[in-house]
Amino acid sequence: MKRPVLIWLPALFGLLLCGLFYAGLRNPDDHIIPSTLVGKPLPEFDTPAALPGRGGVASADFTDGKPRLLNVFASWCVPCVQEVGVLARLRERGVDITGIAIHDSTTEVADFLARNGDPYGAIGLDNEGRTQVAFGSTGVPETFVIDGTGRILYQHIGVVTDADIPKLLDLMREGR
C-alpha cells in the first residue's frame, strides 16, 4: 500500500510553489514593456509638423548618416517639463533631438516650449498615437537613440536625467 514517493509529491509541490512566490516577490514586476524593435530598423511613419514653419517627422529623415535622439513627449505630461531641461543640455553638446508630441495640439506645444525651453529640431504631431505604437512605445516620455542608418539602438523609458547623459552621448557616438 505504501508508495512513499507519491505521498511526498504534494508536499514537494507545495514547497516549489512557495519558492516561486518568493522569487516573484523578490523580483516584483516592473511593469515595463520594452520595445522589441530595439536593434532593428525604425518603422515606417510620417507625422505632420507640430509647429508651423518647422518640418514634420518621417522615417526617411533618419537615414542621412547622422545619429539622432527621438523624444516622445506631450505638453500635458508633467514629468516632461523636468526632462526638457536635460534635453537642452544634450543639445548644447551637439545632439540632434527630434520630438514627437503625442495627443497634442499646435497651440499647446508652442505654449509648452515657450514656458520650458525648446531643445528640439523638427517636431512631429502624433494625435492618434500611431507613431507611438509603431515604435512599441508605452507612454511619455520615452527616448529612442537612432543611428545614422536608421536603426534603433536604444530605448529609454521614462524621464531622461542628467545621470543618463554620458550613456546617451556614448550611444550617439556609437551610432555615427
Partner 1 sequence: MIAETGLCALWLAASLALAQLVLGLLSLVPERATYRVMIPRVAIAQALLASLAFACLLAVFVTSDMSVLLVAANSHSAKPMIYKIAGTWGNHEGSMLLWVTILALAGASIALFERRLREDTRAATLAAQAAIAIGFYAFLLIASNPFARIAGVSDGQGLNPLLQDPGLAFHPPTLYAGYVGMSAAFSFAVGALLTRDVGPAFARAMRPWILGAWIFLTIGITAGSYWAYYTLGWGGWWFWDPVENASLMPWLAATALLHSVTVLANRDALRAWTIMLSVLAFSMSMVGTFLVRSGILTSVHSFAVDPERGIFILALLAIYIVGALTLFGLRIGSVSEGKRFDIASREAALVANNLLLCIVLVVVMAGTLYPLFLEALAGTKISVGAPYFNTVAGPVAIILLVLLAAGPLLRWRRDDPRQLLDRLAMPVLVAAATVLALVLLGGDIGALPMLGLVTAALVIAASLAPLWKRNLRRTPLFTWGMVVAHVGCGVSLAGMASDSAFTQENLVAMAPGETRDIGPFRVTLEGLREVPGPNYVALEAVLSSRRGDEAPEEMLPQLRQFSDPPMQTTQAAIKTYWNGQLYLVLGDQSEGGRWVVRMWWKPFVTLIWLGGAMIAFGGGLSLLGRVRRKQPARAAHLPPLAAPAPGPVGQPA
Partner 2 sequence: MRRLLMALVALLLATPLGAQDLAEVSLPDPRQEAEAVALMDTIRCVVCQGQPISGSNAGLAADMRRIIRERIAAGETPEQVRAWLVERYGDWVSLQPRASTTTAPLWLLPLLALAGGAWIASRRLRRRAR
Selection from 56, 76, 94, 60 nearest residue 139 by Cα: 76
In the complex with partner 1, the residue whose CB is nearer, 98 or 155, is 155
C-alpha 89/C-alpha 42 separation (Å) is 25
Chosen from partner 1, partner 2, none, partner binding at 103 (C-beta under 5 to 8 Å by type): partner 2
β-pair type (152-157, 142-146): antiparallel
Q: Is 16 in the site for partner 2 (CB under 8 A)?
A: no
User: Residue 47 has which C-alpha cell?
Assistant: 507625422
Q: Is 85 in the site for partner 2 (CB under 8 A)?
A: no
Chosen from partner 1, partner 2, none, partner binding at 21 (C-beta under 5 to 8 Å by type): partner 1
> Shortest approach of partner 2 to residue 26 CB, angstroms?
21
Q: Could you tell me which residues come within 8 angstroms of residue 19 by beta carbon, excluding any fewer than 6 positions away?
A: none
Selection from 80, 67, 76, 83 nearest residue 145 by Cα: 67
Contact positions vs partner 1 (CB under 8 A): 1-2, 7-8, 10-11, 14-15, 17-18, 20-25, 27-29, 31, 33
Would you tell me which residues interact with partner 2 (CB under 8 A)? 6, 33-37, 43, 103, 128-130, 132-136, 138-139
